[in-house]
Structure 1
Amino acid sequence: MQRPLAGLTTRNLATELTAGVTLLAIAIPLNIGYAQIAGLPATAGLYALIVPTVVYALVVSSRQLVASPDAAAAALVASSVGGLAVAGSADYATLALAQAVICGVLFILLAVFKLGFLANFLSKPILVGFVGGLALDIMVSQIAKMLGVSIDSGKEFTGKVADLVSGLGTLNGWSVLISVCSVAVLLAGRAFLRAVPWALVVLVVSTIAVVVSRLDQQGVDVLGEVPAGAPAFTWPMIDWTMWLALVPSAIALTLVTTAEGLLVSRSYAEKHGYPFRANRDLLAFGVANVAAGAQGSFSVGSSTSRTAAMDQAGSRTQLPALVLAVGTLLLLLFGTALLEDIPSPAIGAIVGVAIIPLLGIRDFADLWRKDRFEFLIGATCFLVTLFIGSIPGILVAFVLALINLAKRASNPAIDVLESSGDPGESLLEDAPAGTVTAPGVIVIRLAAPLFFANGAVFTGAVKDAVRSAGDGAVRHLVVDMEAVTDVDITGAESFASLKEWLADHSISLAFSRVRPNTLHRLTALGLLDAEQVYPTNRAALADLTAPAVQRRSTEREGL
């Protein structure tokens, strides 16, 4: 079992501690903003950086992945819980806690039953579309905050846009100035000095400006009082019907976090050569989310941006996460007064700049260039998430994933080589690599499992190949099974009908290079007998098919 803080040595201790301070400077302003996106008080974002962060760091196998609420998770919380309670109310906060607990249980179940592969159904186009839709919805709220315009954050996207447009006459000039300066500093800093925690710089400078100039009296909205003290352990007490109502959104949160979190975790593990254990990472997400629900926070996911920042800072352990937890606890105990005058436009600017990459503009352009169908999948998911809602968005995402899978699976690569029918002529010279044929023989290779989506396609391809060779030209059919890893009932029934058709046309059937598990499956389904399996040798195949053909290919051994 991997020890906690694997990779930590006396040589990298100073680097890891410095990275922890950097992470603290990045995470605090972002988590305050994400808590506001979720419709929760600032403390909900800060509490997520203490107990959930500690338990995650001590359990996870990844040495670098940073766990924290992120923009997509915050938007999902707002859109799902917002339909069940009024944002800012006690019931709303309790539902957010319960949602985090459900997410934790789901993560633990995924780990125990090794079901993390389910997240593979969220392909890149689906993730780009889903997260992009959430990001644009967030962006509208942050723009309103930057302009000093009041909108109803509980509305859908179109309602927020309408509120923003109608409220432009009430925008606050000082808020606009703070926002413009903040965005300029953040973008310039990202371009030229990425190592500097510019989000913290923006918060400090803008807060000083508000206090010195008393801009809060000029209409600039500020964060307000932040309760001091460590997070208290509690448990959400709600009716069982409300627990059930939260399950769909919790599933969506779990799947999105699983897909993104495992992908990022694996990529950094491969990059730096340390072990990656998917189920251990899922378990870590599980205990972190249960901890979040038990101490006043909300759903915890993976933070790609913060993980990248730690990698750039030279961190290769989870020690920065522990530094973050200690620093946040000290802030809550002794420094909450420093947070009260943080201007909301600055928070909006920080969050807005942070989520720009989540809009997926470059990803959509890349999809458009490479595959229009995959672009259509991403765009559909984006529009459904944006205009209908996050839960319908994730449902549509899975439907589109299945459609995409079925589309590709129903058109497998089928390699067909048929003879000319001339008993004295061999087509060996024209054979593709790995295929040998002889007069009267057709060799067909199916490069996919044989199942319900492609069974009819395969049998149709075989019949077309036989017919195109001419009446009576084909006497033997050999099916190369090297790439066939499985056969389901529907595929077996299609193949059984093909066997009958071949028998009616006096064509013998044999199989080559059958995998052991597939051989067992074919036998159990009654599709072959032992004598129907060719030896994996070309000379043997030549002897079985046509004595006139004695050539052997030197391209590869075995049929």
Structure 2
Amino acid sequence: MSYWKNSFHHDMVAGVIVAILIIPQAIAYAILAGVPPVVGLYSATVPVLIYLLFGTSPHLSVGPVAVVSLLIFSGVSSIAIPGTDDYFSLVITVTFLVGVLQVFFSALKFGTLLEWIPYSVIKGFTSACAVIIAVSQIENLIGFSLGHSTSVIHTSMTLFTNLESIHLATFLIGLISILLILTINSISRKLPTPLFVVIILTVSVSFFRLDNFGVPIIGQLPQGFPTFTLPMFNAEVLMAVFPTAIIIAFIGYIESIAVAKVIAEKENYKLGVNQELTSLGLANTIGAFFSSMPVAGGISRSAVNYDSGARTKVASLITTIFIFLTLLLFTPLFYFLPKPTLAAIIIVAITKIINIKGLWLTCKSSKRDGILLLTTLFMTLLYGPEWGIVCGITLGVLLQLWNSRISL
């Protein structure tokens, strides 16, 4: 009885606010990952329910996240063409593998060990990924493809050598979307800015039928609950996507536990780090059978969930119920949602991760941390996320061994 009196209304408000935030984000991150837009919504349903059963954080908002979406695209697009059935099947297989690996790592008590990865490596990696994600969305702002490379240099060169191909109407929609987001955010950070912008631009495109002028739109989203899917249990396929899966398993957990620990310290409760790894693993493993891409705890959504007054896991349950209702009743409303608006939402959200001052202070405060950060940053920008994180962690281990040798 005390819960209904003291906490339920807080959870209700937080749950609704996060639902309003996650719907456009989930659709945008699905497009970033190269899968059908509705898969983003599917990924915010069944996996979240599984996490709620086993997770230890009442505030962590689990679902599609930008960095993981980029890693999916980076790894799977080298094997299959994004948007095809084969590509989607591979993503489902990656989701299953990520889950199995996370459960396996948890059984080996890796949850604690993963926390020892140098923070400078994570900072360099996430900053570089933010740049790659922002650059990858430029093609949705300008209306023509820049290829499927995760190299910032390659994408930038393609852009500057094809400036005459920019689709003016698409570019204007994207630019207006960015300006609207920045304007509304300047008025109040607590407003559901993505939803407002989505409504305004969707209505505008529908009213003026800008899709007839070449502005790309989402189109028809399937209605109904997530469909049953089966991962590809082929040895050759599993080996091909294994490197992508293992990196997502690490990065997804690290991003999740980082934000969960910050909130837990503020609220003075204890997290089970290995239990969190198990929970994410089960969410991904079971989610793979319900058309889900890999999920993790979102930094921005978790912060909004906490700031909005969430007290218990009921807040995330309410968010999930709203997603189910959207899938059941409201997907036709997104038909005229312009893709450049989704790109604008991703770009504005992801640039918040890049903290130039913080990067500079890290390099200035410690030579070792500076080397790790810059190496990870530039390797990720030049060769892609997989090489970046592997090089950063490897160099971190080598420097630690070198320091241990000197101290002996």
TM-score, reference length from structure 1: 0.70
Match of residue 345, structure 1, among 340, 348, 351: 340
Paired amino acid for 1:245: A
> Does residue 1:263 correspond to 2:244, yes or no?
no
Q: Given the superposition, is the C-alpha separation of residues 55 and 411 from structure 1 closer, same or farther in structure 2, using an over 3 Å criterion?
A: same
Task: Answer yes or no: is the 8 Å Cα contact 1:8–1:317 preserved in 2.
Answer: no
Corresponding residue number in structure 2 for 1:26: 21
Paired amino acid for 1:174: A
> Does residue 1:285 correspond to 2:283, yes or no?
no
Match of residue 134, structure 1, among 99, 104, 129: 129
Deviation string 1:176-227 (CA, Å, 9 cap, x unpaired) is 3322222222223334311111001000000011011111112211111211
CA distance in 2, matches of 1:310, 1:155: 31
Task: Answer yes or no: is the 8 Å Cα contact 2:77–2:148 preserved in 1.
Answer: no
Paired amino acid for 1:388: Y
CA distance in 2, matches of 1:289, 1:361: 33
Match of residue 297, structure 1, among 292, 298, 306: 292
> Does residue 1:101 correspond to 2:96, yes or no?
yes
Corresponding residue number in structure 1 for 2:65: 70
Task: Answer yes or no: is the 8 Å Cα contact 2:43–2:63 preserved in 1.
Answer: yes
Question: 1:107 Cα shift?
Answer: 1.3
TM-score, reference length from structure 2: 0.95
Report sequence identity in percent: 28
Corresponding residue number in structure 2 for 1:149: 144
Corresponding residue number in structure 2 for 1:92: 87
Task: Answer yes or no: is the 8 Å Cα contact 1:121–1:401 preserved in 2.
Answer: no
CA distance in 1, matches of 2:145, 2:109: 46
Unaligned runs of 5+ in 2: none
Match of residue 113, structure 2, among 118, 121, 133: 118
- The aligned runs of 1:475-554 (5 Å cut-off) are none
Corresponding residue number in structure 2 for 1:48: 43
CA distance in 1, matches of 2:149, 2:223: 28
Task: Answer yes or no: is the 8 Å Cα contact 1:101–1:293 preserved in 2.
Answer: yes
Tell me which moved more, 170-179 or 77-86: 170-179
Question: 1:335 Cα shift?
Answer: 1.4
Question: 1:330 Cα shift?
Answer: 1.4
CA distance in 2, matches of 1:184, 1:70: 23
Task: Answer yes or no: is the 8 Å Cα contact 1:116–1:278 preserved in 2.
Answer: yes
CA distance in 2, matches of 1:8, 1:408: 52
Task: Answer yes or no: is the 8 Å Cα contact 1:78–1:154 preserved in 2.
Answer: no
Corresponding residue number in structure 2 for 1:404: 399
What is the Cα-based RMSD across aligned positions, in Å? 1.8
Task: Answer yes or no: is the 8 Å Cα contact 2:23–2:323 preserved in 1.
Answer: yes
CA distance in 2, matches of 1:108, 1:238: 18
Paired amino acid for 1:266: K
Helix, strand or coil: the match of 2:56?
coil
Deviation string 1:426-463 (CA, Å, 9 cap, x unpaired) is xxxxxxxxxxxxxxxxxxxxxxxxxxxx2xxxxxxxxx
Count residues in correspondence. 407
CA distance in 2, matches of 1:154, 1:230: 33
Deviation string 1:238-289 (CA, Å, 9 cap, x unpaired) is 4211112222221111111222222222221121122311121111101111
Deviation string 1:99-131 (CA, Å, 9 cap, x unpaired) is 111111111122222111331342221112212
Helix, strand or coil: the match of 1:65?
coil
Corresponding residue number in structure 2 for 1:229: 224
Question: 1:156 Cα shift?
Answer: 3.9
Match of residue 12, structure 1, among 7, 30, 46: 7
Task: Answer yes or no: is the 8 Å Cα contact 1:150–1:164 preserved in 2.
Answer: no
Corresponding residue number in structure 2 for 1:520: none
Task: Answer yes or no: is the 8 Å Cα contact 1:129–1:360 preserved in 2.
Answer: no
Task: Answer yes or no: is the 8 Å Cα contact 2:112–2:273 preserved in 1.
Answer: no
Paired amino acid for 1:162: M
CA distance in 1, matches of 2:293, 2:74: 14
CA distance in 1, matches of 2:403, 2:188: 45
Tell me which moved more, 39-48 or 364-373: 364-373
